[in-house]
């Protein structure tokens, strides 16, 4: 039992980068966490962590041990559940996602999910910033785009399209852009977290738009577009209702790029718990029934 505790302390120290965070999580006090990891290093005869006043970094040996220890702890947890006869998915599920998608879609789907799986608890980490799944102890993240990190695995759960949108009042005042380059003559609302820093992608290449208003929130951009402040570049699921009602209009759809995948992403080095598997299946079903996330073209939303 002691070695399992030592192992758990080490794994969570690597994942959180903090002895104090592990102490709070396990309720054992920071000095105990340090002693347990020191005991594990002594038993293995090698240093697992480089310690400083500000950082905890796994050594080369520590990183190798972490990968195998994480898998071992996952297997033990599953074996204990099976031995107890806990066939239903259970436990705490940590999910990361963009704030807009999380608030409007993921959280909105929770009444049904929590009712269907009463033994699962869900903790969301919603942010438009990149979240390190391992460091944050996240089981699964919902992310758009193509997976590039070989340390992660992904399952496609939906498809998203981004389009240029504006209000009728804005277009009456400033005119309708006919070509992507025409956007250079318009007030474009800039999403500061978009890769490319203002470059909006089109079939013919990126257009580096400008505007007087910059936001780090897609919800904020939608609000600004509805206030007639300019043209926004937004996912169709976020403006599907306004497009159907005619409050907003799509622009330059003949020049739009291909649809982008939305993936459920998880660590390749961890056993995916059953609670995460059923969550991914559930969210895939939610996205399949949601306009703008199920592969429908924006033209079908009008």
126-166: per-residue pLDDT in tens? 987 777 787 677 889 998 877 676 678 889 999 888 899 99
Contacts 24+ apart (CB under 8 A), 64-68: 65/10, 66/10, 66/11, 66/14, 67/269
275-285: per-residue pLDDT in tens? 899 999 999 99
Residue 277 tokens, joined = 């598997």
> Span 82-92, mean pLDDT?
71
Local confidence band at 84 (pLDDT 50, 70, 90 cut-offs): low
Task: List, as one string, the DSSP characters of 81-147.
Answer: HHHTT--S--EEEEEEE-HHHIIIIIGGGHHHHHHH-TTEEEEEEE-SS---HHHHT-SEEEEES--
The predicted pLDDT at position 43 comes to 92
Q: Which of 200, 228, 204, 225 is nearest to 215 (CA)?
A: 225
The predicted pLDDT at position 105 comes to 92
The predicted pLDDT at position 104 comes to 87
Q: Which helix (H) or strand (E) holds 35?
A: helix 30-44
Contacts 24+ apart (CB under 8 A), 211-219: 211/186, 211/187, 212/187, 213/187, 213/189, 214/189, 214/190, 215/189, 215/190, 215/191, 216/128, 216/191, 216/192, 217/99, 217/100, 217/128, 218/98, 218/99, 218/100, 218/128, 218/191, 219/99, 219/100, 219/103
Rounded Cα distance, 84 and 79, in Å: 9
Residue 301 reports pLDDT greater than 60 = no
Pick the range with the lowest mean pLDDT from 85-99, 114-128, 173-187: 85-99
The predicted pLDDT at position 86 comes to 58
* CA-to-CA separations, 294 to 12, 141, 237, in angstroms, rounded: 36, 18, 9
The predicted pLDDT at position 136 comes to 72
Choice between 61 and 74, residue whose per-residue pLDDT is larger: 61
The predicted pLDDT at position 299 comes to 53
* Residue 142 near residue 124, CB atoms below 8 Å: no
Find tokens 């169709």 and name the residue: 236
Give the residue range(s) of CATH 3.40.190.10 domains in the chain.
91-159+260-294, 162-255
Give the residue range(s) of CATH 1.10.10.10 domains in the chain.
2-83
Q: Can you give 204-263 as a three-state secondary structure string?
A: CCCEECCCCCEECCHHHHHHHHHCCCCEEEEEHHHHHHHHHHCCEEEECHHHCCCCEEEE
As a dihedral over the C-alpha atoms of residue 261, residue 263, residue 268, residue 270, rounded to 10 degrees, the angle is 180
| CATH number, span 2-83 | 1.10.10.10
> Span 12-26, mean pLDDT?
87
Each residue of 35-44: b (16+ CB within 10 Å) or e? ebbeebbeee
Choice between 302 and 30, residue whose per-residue pLDDT is larger: 30
> Span 249-267, mean pLDDT?
89
The predicted pLDDT at position 82 comes to 67
The predicted pLDDT at position 294 comes to 82
Q: Helices 2-16 and 30-44 meet at what angle, rounded to 10?
A: 110
> Span 186-210, mean pLDDT?
85
Find tokens 């070989």 and name the residue: 150
Classify 264 as helix, strand or coil. strand
> Span 18-45, mean pLDDT?
91
The predicted pLDDT at position 134 comes to 72
Which CATH superfamily is 162-255 part of? Periplasmic binding protein-like II (3.40.190.10)
> Span 188-212, mean pLDDT?
85
Which CATH superfamily is 91-159+260-294 part of? Periplasmic binding protein-like II (3.40.190.10)
Choice between 298 and 289, residue whose per-residue pLDDT is larger: 289
Local confidence band at 174 (pLDDT 50, 70, 90 cut-offs): very high
Residue 233 tokens, joined = 């570049």
Find tokens 């702890």 and name the residue: 73
Averaged pLDDT score across all residues of the chain: 87
Percent of the chain with pLDDT over 90: 45
- Among 77-81, 179-183, 194-198, 288-292, the range with the most confident prediction by mean pLDDT is 179-183
């Amino acid at each position: 039992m002691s070695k399992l505790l030592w192992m758990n302390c080490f794994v969570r120290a690597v994942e959180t980068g903090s002895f104090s965070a592990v102490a709070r999580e396990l309720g054992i006090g920071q000095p105990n966490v340090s002693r347990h990891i020191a005991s594990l290093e002594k038993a293995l005869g090698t240093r697992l962590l480089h310690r400083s006043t500000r950082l905890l970094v796994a050594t080369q040996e520590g990183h190798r041990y972490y990968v195998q220890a994480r898998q071992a702890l996952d297997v033990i947890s599953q074996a204990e559940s099976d031995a107890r006869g806990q066939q239903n998915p259970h436990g705490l599920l940590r999910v990361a996602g963009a704030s807009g998608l999380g608030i409007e879609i993921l959280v909105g789907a929770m009444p049904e999910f929590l009712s269907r799986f009463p033994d699962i608890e869900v903790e969301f980490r919603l942010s438009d910033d990149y979240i390190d799944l391992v460091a944050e102890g996240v089981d699964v993240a919902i992310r758009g785009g193509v997976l590039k990190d070989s340390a992660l695995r992904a399952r496609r759960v939906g498809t998203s399209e981004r389009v240029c949108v504006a209000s009728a009042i804005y277009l009456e005042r400033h005119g309708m852009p006919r070509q992507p380059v025409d956007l250079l003559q318009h007030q474009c609302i800039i999403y500061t977290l978009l890769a490319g820093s203002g470059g909006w992608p089109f079939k013919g290449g990126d257009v580096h738009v400008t505007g007087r208003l910059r936001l780090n929130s897609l919800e904020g951009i939608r609000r600004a577009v509805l206030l007639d402040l300019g043209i926004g570049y937004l996912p169709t699921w976020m403006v599907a209702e306004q497009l159907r009602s005619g409050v907003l209009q799509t622009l330059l759809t003949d020049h739009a790029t291909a649809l982008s995948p939305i993936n459920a992403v998880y660590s390749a080095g961890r056993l995916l718990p059953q609670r995460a598997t059923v969550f991914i299946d559930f969210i895939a079903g939610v996205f399949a029934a949601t306009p703008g996330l199920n592969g429908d073209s924006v033209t079908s939303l009008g």
